[in-house]
Amino acid sequence: MSTATTSVPADTRLVNRPLTANRLPKWAPAAVAGGSIALGCAIGAIGGLASHLQWGLISAALFVVISYVLSAQVEGRRQAKDRLATSVVWVAFILAVVPLAALTFYTVQQGASVVDGNFLTHSMKGIRTSGPGGGIYHALIGTLEQVGLATAMAAPIGLLTAVYLVEYGRGTLAKVVTFFVDVMTGVPSIVAGLFILSLWNLVLGFNYSGFSGSLALAILMMPVVVRSTEEMLKLVPNELREASYALGVPKWKTILRIVIPTAIGGITTGVMLSVARITGETAPVMMLVFGADYINTNPFDGPQQSLPMYIWQQYSMVNNDFGYARAWGAALVLIAFVMGLNLIARGIARWRSPKGGH
Amino acid sequence: MTSSSPAAPRGRERRKRDSRVGDKIFMNAARGSGILLLVIMAAIAGFLTWRSGIALSKNEGNFLTTFEWTPDAPKPVFGIAVLAFGTIVSALIAMAIAVPVAIGIALFISHYAPRKIAQPFAYLVDLLAAVPSVVYGLWGALFLVPHLDGLTSWLNDYLGWTYIFDQSRAGTTPRNLFTVGILLAIMILPIITAVSREVFRQVPRMHEEAALALGATRWEMIRTAVLPFGRPGIISASMLGLGRALGETIAVAIVLSSNNVLSLHLLDPGGGTFAQNIALKFNEAQPFGRDALMASGLVLFVITLLVNGAARLIVARRKEYSGANA
């Protein structure tokens, strides 16, 4: 910019008029933000608004309005609109950060004092729910077994379906499967639970067990595995397949030895993410596993417990401060488990992501 | 090669046949699991329809307009009016809050934030998408509900004239549809953000640079290049979020204090949703009551099926941003 002005020294009026004349200085948004927060708090304090939520909302509204008006005065309408959009986007960001940060922080704060060695290694058997004590050992075992069984069922089927869609799928059947896989990702978990209940428990006459819960979880997991595996298989460069065919390797061996190993990082990530998702499912487990307060290590026989259901029971059925504390402890363990899985999965994705070959 | 020519054809023949058998087995296994998925979907629809048929044939009330839910009474009466109203209203409130905010966050990550903030923040949003709904429910009941007390009474005081925000009894705990809507909005925010962010990222760089080169401000560039390109993606992301909000069970069951009153006073505790009703009534229900609950489950299933199907059809051309892997 400066080179253009220096190379045309003839027109002094242009030279003397700096390009940044009618722009707000760089620190303006920060200053406006600070000012509107102060003003918002002042209004809140004077108006006697009890909720700090409202103070924040007033400040946010003030920020948007003030920066628009200021910019419209100094910079003109187009720039003002740009500023309006920018400030709205920033406000949206902050609006989202507040509850999400509050959720994480509050869970850690409430749960950290509850989780200890005793909590992790004891069940609720013989514990009076009106008092403290007890733990989540039985729920941990139940969750691990149910999720493990569900993964053992859903992952192979999902993987094979994805292979079918990417490697073999031509024609109507593939299109129909693709569409219904997409639709299936939206099946509410409680509907999956109802279905397994009516088929497995009512029609076939099986009893409540961890396994019937994992059947429902498998239904929820399958479409997610299919979709993510599909994406990963599509990323495998066609040259690899062609090279393999050129060496006379049959198709099934090419898929098993070339295509899947190339994409295995992404596939693992997808499976782990879907595991993380079904671990937190409450509704189907609640209907099908029934909830026991003792340790039952056999998922095929009798009621079990699971972490999400434990939280639900401690909140809604125990419904006292000791129950809430136990619920927060279990919630912290559950979140830590799910987020840990997520982080590991994304780490694997980073480490072994197939480089796109198109 | 030439020396072994008499043996070669037979060997090759056998290998060819083997590979064909292997291919056939593998292909059928793959196709079989695809078909299995279709069978499961069909079975879900079939079983729910069958059980609901049993329930509906004995219902003494009108299934669509009855408020009560007493299928196990001597004279079984149950209807979905309250549930449908609660489900749709809470999902609509959630959408009204979550969609604009999510688009804002997605734009923030893709176009506004400094790179150093954008990447970790995108990561964080993805992590929050994985927080189990029961934890959201627990947080909603023990943290959000007390904190919304002030906002609720403020809405009642100043916007009470709108009828919607009028509380019949001022100062009741806000375990109402409005709070549920806010909680659902927080829950579906990450998924809508994640999907629309992916779409915004795929906007061709050339389009954006062309707009900027013509002198557009950043907002004008977004309005003319990014948003039109991303519109189908935004719509499908919102529909995905809507699907989740409609089917959300446990968080609603924890936060809402339900009853069978259909009221437009959104700040009054009460009402219910399909999924919440099933979760709460299920354990005490008799066999017939369960069939009745399945009838309401079928309605929910059909609604989410329509919503999701529509979302998929809208983005059928651009499959890459379906939310299944988010």
Amino acid identity, position B305:
L
The confidence score (pLDDT) of residue B107 equals: 92
Under DSSP, is residue B110 helix (H, G, I), strand (E, B) or coil? helix
Q: Per the structure block, which two tokens stand in for B14?
A: 């056998």
Asked if B47 lies within 8 A of A198 by C-beta distance, the reply is yes
Count of Cβ atoms closer than 10 Å to residue B80 Cβ: 24
Asked if A51 lies within 8 A of B150 by C-beta distance, the reply is yes
Q: Among the listed ranges A26-40, A264-278, B162-176, which one has the minimum average pLDDT value?
A: B162-176
Fold of A137-351: MetI-like fold (1.10.3720)
Q: Per the structure block, which two tokens stand in for A107?
A: 């869970």
Predicted confidence band of residue B316 (pLDDT cuts 50, 70, 90): low
Contact status, residue B319 vs residue A212, Cβ threshold 8 Å: no
Predicted confidence band of residue A169 (pLDDT cuts 50, 70, 90): confident
Cβ-nearest to B134 among A79, A222, A312: A312
pTM to 2 decimals? 0.86
Highest average pLDDT, of A146-160, A171-185, A258-272, comes from: A146-160
The confidence score (pLDDT) of residue B164 equals: 79
Question: Per-residue pLDDT for A4 more than 90?
Answer: no
Predicted confidence band of residue A289 (pLDDT cuts 50, 70, 90): confident
Chain A residues whose beta carbon lies within 8 Å of the beta carbon of residue B107:
89
Q: How far is A13 from chain B (nearest CA, A)?
A: 23
Question: Per-residue pLDDT for B24 more than 80?
Answer: yes
Cβ-nearest to B127 among A180, A253, A339: A339
Question: Per-residue pLDDT for A11 more than 70?
Answer: no
More confident residue, A4 or B1: A4
Asked if A161 lies within 8 A of B126 by C-beta distance, the reply is no
Q: What is the mean pLDDT of chain B?
A: 84
Question: Rounded to an integer, what distance in angstroms lies between the CA atom of residue B39 and that of residue B92?
Answer: 32
Contact status, residue B277 vs residue B265, Cβ threshold 8 Å: no
Asked if A195 lies within 8 A of B290 by C-beta distance, the reply is no
Whether chain A has a CB inside 8 Å of the CB on B175: the answer is no
Q: Among the listed ranges A172-176, B16-20, B192-196, which one has the minimum average pLDDT value?
A: B16-20
What is the rounded average pLDDT of the residues A87-95? 87
Q: Percent of chain A scored above 70 by pLDDT?
A: 91
Under DSSP, is residue B143 helix (H, G, I), strand (E, B) or coil? helix
Question: Rounded to an integer, what distance in angstroms lies between the CA atom of residue B207 and that of residue B211?
Answer: 6
Question: Per-residue pLDDT for A221 more than 60?
Answer: yes
Q: How far is A12 from chain B (nearest CA, A)?
A: 25
What digits encode the pLDDT tens for the residues B90-146?
A: 999 999 999 999 999 999 998 888 888 888 888 888 888 888 999 999 999 998 888
Question: Rounded to an integer, what distance in angstroms lies between the CA atom of residue A40 and that of residue A44?
Answer: 6
- Going B282 to B288 to B289 to B295, the CA torsion angle's sign is positive
Asked if A198 lies within 8 A of B51 by C-beta distance, the reply is yes
User: Closest Cα to residue A227, out of A279, A179, A277?
Assistant: A179
What is the rounded average pLDDT of the residues A337-349? 86
What is the rounded average pLDDT of the residues A170-199? 87
What is the rounded average pLDDT of the residues A203-223? 90
Q: Which chain A residue shows the shortest CA-CA distance from B218?
A: A82
Asked if A50 lies within 8 A of B149 by C-beta distance, the reply is yes
Amino acid identity, position B271:
G
Listed by start position, the domains of chain A span 17-112, 137-351
Question: Rounded to an integer, what distance in angstroms lies between the CA atom of residue A46 and that of residue A56?
Answer: 14
The confidence score (pLDDT) of residue B94 equals: 95
Residues 6+ positions from B57 with CB-CB distance below 8 Å: none
Predicted confidence band of residue A28 (pLDDT cuts 50, 70, 90): confident
Cβ-nearest to A199 among B47, B149, B193: B47
What is the rounded average pLDDT of the residues A26-43? 84
User: Closest Cα to residue B121, out of B132, B138, B107?
Assistant: B107
Question: Per-residue pLDDT for A5 more than 70?
Answer: no
Predicted confidence band of residue B288 (pLDDT cuts 50, 70, 90): confident
What digits encode the pLDDT tens for the residues B57-88?
A: 888 888 888 888 888 888 888 888 999 999 99
Question: Rounded to an integer, what distance in angstroms lies between the CA atom of residue A242 and that of residue A238?
Answer: 6
Q: Among the listed ranges A135-149, B133-147, B310-324, which one has the minimum average pLDDT value?
A: B310-324
Q: What is the mean pLDDT of chain A?
A: 84
Chain A residues whose beta carbon lies within 8 Å of the beta carbon of residue B143:
102-103, 106
The interface pTM score, or ipTM, of the predicted complex is: 0.83
Asked if B305 lies within 8 A of A54 by C-beta distance, the reply is no
Question: Rounded to an integer, what distance in angstroms lies between the CA atom of residue A206 and that of residue A218?
Answer: 17
Chain B residues whose beta carbon lies within 8 Å of the beta carbon of residue A286:
250, 279, 282
Contact status, residue B180 vs residue B252, Cβ threshold 8 Å: yes
Q: What are the angstrom distances between the C-alpha of A150 and each of A30, A144, A212, B45, B62? A: 51, 10, 10, 21, 39
Whether chain A has a CB inside 8 Å of the CB on B242: the answer is no
User: Closest Cα to residue B188, out of B117, B133, B145, B147?
Assistant: B133
- Residue B270, sorted as left (phi over 0), alpha (psi -120 to 50) or beta, turns out to be left
The confidence score (pLDDT) of residue B323 equals: 41
Asked if B250 lies within 8 A of A282 by C-beta distance, the reply is yes
Percentages of chain A per state (helix, strand, coil), in multiples of 5: 75, 0, 25
Whether chain A has a CB inside 8 Å of the CB on B120: the answer is no
Backbone Cα Rg of chain B: 26
Q: What is the DSSP string of B8-68?
A: HHHHHHHHHHHHHHHHHHHHHHHHHHHHHHHHHHHHHHHHHHHHHHHHHHH-SS-TTT---
CA angle A312, B244, A217 (to 5 degrees): 60
Question: Rounded to an integer, what distance in angstroms lies between the CA atom of residue A218 and that of residue A100?
Answer: 29
Q: To probe the interface with B, which of A190, A226, A232, A286 has the most B CB atoms within 10 Å? A: A190
Q: Among the listed ranges B43-57, B95-109, B169-183, B306-320, which one has the minimum average pLDDT value?
A: B306-320
Q: Which chain B residue shows the shortest CA-CA distance from A280?
A: B132
Q: Per the structure block, which two tokens stand in for A354?
A: 């197939």
Highest average pLDDT, of A115-129, B141-155, B203-217, comes from: B203-217
Asked if A190 lies within 8 A of B294 by C-beta distance, the reply is no
Contact status, residue A213 vs residue A283, Cβ threshold 8 Å: no
Count of Cβ atoms closer than 10 Å to residue A20 Cβ: 10
Gap between the terminal Cα atoms of chain B: 54
The confidence score (pLDDT) of residue A17 equals: 57
The confidence score (pLDDT) of residue A21 equals: 63
Whether chain A has a CB inside 8 Å of the CB on B297: the answer is yes
Predicted confidence band of residue B2 (pLDDT cuts 50, 70, 90): very low
- For B122, counting Cβ atoms within 10 Å of its Cβ (0-12 exposed, 13-18 middle, 19+ buried), the class is buried
CA angle B5, B7, B8 (to 5 degrees): 65
The confidence score (pLDDT) of residue B7 equals: 47
Whether chain A has a CB inside 8 Å of the CB on B289: the answer is no
Question: Rounded to an integer, what distance in angstroms lies between the CA atom of residue B79 and that of residue B92?
Answer: 21
Question: Rounded to an integer, what distance in angstroms lies between the CA atom of residue A89 and that of residue A55?
Answer: 19
What is the rounded average pLDDT of the residues A334-350? 86
The confidence score (pLDDT) of residue A311 equals: 92
Question: Per-residue pLDDT for A78 more than 80?
Answer: yes
